[in-house]
Amino acid sequence: GESVGLHLPTLSVQEGDNSIINCAYSNSASDYFIWYKQESGKGPQFIIDIRSNMDKRQGQRVTVLLNKTVKHLSLQIAATQPGDSAVYFCAENIRQAGTALIFGKGTTLSVSS
């Protein structure tokens, strides 16, 4: 199964399913977006990024979609595995500003086998 639409604080899927995690960003001037994965007790780990001149970018098993019109970002994970269980955060930035990333609310992904 998969979940689309509004941000959900938690998402539970079965192993092998596709997962979709949503994020709404706040600053219309932001032009760079990143998805991070954070496992318990660890720092955020880079997954994939996208610039505002793109609306889709694919990585290995992951795809990020950007809708600037509604300031919405999503992360799609194909064939979700138990090792994907973690908290996922989106982050936004203005590239040339040299400022820090601003993080959105996280989504806890739980994958059951």
Partner 1 sequence: GAVVSQHPSRVICKSGTSVKIECRSLDFQATTMFWYRQFPKKSLMLMATSNEGSKATYEQGVEKDKFLINHASLTLSTLTVTSAHPEDSSFYICSAKDPQRGQETQYFGPGTRLLVL
> Can you give the binding site for partner 1, defined by CB under 8 A?
32, 34, 36, 41-46, 49, 89, 93, 95-96, 98-106, 108
The least distance separating partner 1 from the CB of residue 95, rounded to whole angstroms, comes to 6
Q: Is 65 exposed, middle or buried (0-12, 13-18, 19+ CB in 10 A)?
A: middle
The least distance separating partner 1 from the CB of residue 69, rounded to whole angstroms, comes to 23
Contact 21, 106 (CB under 8 A): no
Distance CA 73, CA 29 (A): 14
Closer to partner 1 at the Cβ: 42 or 113? Answer: 42
Q: What are the tokens at 103?
A: 């993080």
The least distance separating partner 1 from the CB of residue 44, rounded to whole angstroms, comes to 5
Closer to partner 1 at the Cβ: 5 or 42? Answer: 42
The least distance separating partner 1 from the CB of residue 43, rounded to whole angstroms, comes to 4
Closer to partner 1 at the Cβ: 71 or 103? Answer: 103
> What amino acid occupies position 97?
A
Q: Could you identify the residue written with the tokens 């496992």?
A: 39
Q: H/E element holding 45?
A: strand 45-51
Closer to partner 1 at the Cβ: 41 or 83? Answer: 41
